Amino acid sequence: MKKISILLVTAILFSSCVSKKKYMALEQENGQIKSELTKTKVEKEDLENKFAKIQERVDTYNAKINSLNEDVEGLKIENDIKLDVNADGTVMSNATKEKMLSTLANIDSEKLAQAKTLKDSMNLAIQYNLAKTMDTSNLNEDEDIAVNINETVVMISISDKMLFNSGSYRISSKANNILQKLANVINSEDSIDVMVEGHTDSRSISTDKIADNWDLSVLRATSVVRQLQNKYDVNPEKLIASGRSSYQPLVENNTRENRSKNRRTRIILLPNIDKFFALMAAK
């Protein structure tokens, strides 16, 4: 019995020793795993920090590139809108000069040769673009319609026979085409205001409805203004009606032909000249 007890104690002690060794081995393995996990976390944080620094550098470079692109675009825009005052007093941006030169390439060389100044060239370019827009090819440009610019205003002079019957201020049906095209130009650009001037010859007139040439010139101007507003939807806030009577003749009123030239309606467009030229060049 005593031997059996000793054997049992010995077995228990042996078994206890084995379990302790396994426990210690597991503890050591657990410590190694924790150490490797800590090391991995440290390496992960280090990589994240490095990535953040790289991303910061990338963002900085991208910001510099965007800034350079904006500077380049800004310089281009600045160059386009830079205004030059020319020898004849004309003010024009570089962008407008390029458009004007492009337009002049389409103009007859003989006409172009007659342009002695930059202002003459601007006249030709705007006449060409406006004529193209308004389709004045079927008109006698010298007698029926003329386009000119004076500094920053564009003037379209229309013979009275294109708009009115003789001695009348009522718009005739043959005026529809040109007034429609004129309205298209006015309506397509918010920067344009319009003054309509009536002009007569020097022969006196007096009827039940018309007191004199002052009256006739104003009535003709207001007739055109009403037509532009009521029939062609031109904003009335952009319109000005005025009469000049016979006191601004183009030529002396000494012949029938000259009096015909003096009887006219002048449409004065008051735009930003760059915007107007851009509008014309886009047609």
| Cross-strand bridge partners of residue 149 | 154
Tell whether the model's pLDDT for residue 264 goes beyond 60. yes
- Alpha-carbon distance of 160 to 199, in angstroms, equals 9
Percent of the chain at pLDDT exceeding 70: 65
pLDDT surpassing 60 at residue 207: yes
pLDDT value of residue 130: 62
Of 22-31, 172-181, 200-209, which one has max mean pLDDT?
200-209
CB 250 within 8 A of CB 262: yes
pLDDT at 241: 96
Higher-pLDDT residue of 213, 30 = 213
What percent of the chain clears pLDDT 90, i.e. is strictly above it? 25
Give the pLDDT mean for 86-112. Answer: 65
Give the per-residue pLDDT at 80.
45
pLDDT of residue 35: 78
Closest to 154 in 3D by CA, of 266, 234, 230: 266
> Global pTM?
0.55
Enumerate residues 6+ apart whose C-beta is below 8 A from 152.
91, 270, 271, 272, 273
* Mean pLDDT within 26-53: 78
10 pLDDT more than 70: no
Is pLDDT above 60 for 6?
no
Answer left, alpha or beta for residue 89, where phi above 0 means left and psi between -120 and 50 means alpha.
Answer: left
* pLDDT value, residue 114: 72
Which ranges in the chain belong to alpha helices (H)? 2-81, 94-104, 109-113, 118-134, 176-187, 213-230, 256-262, 273-281
SS3 state at 66: helix
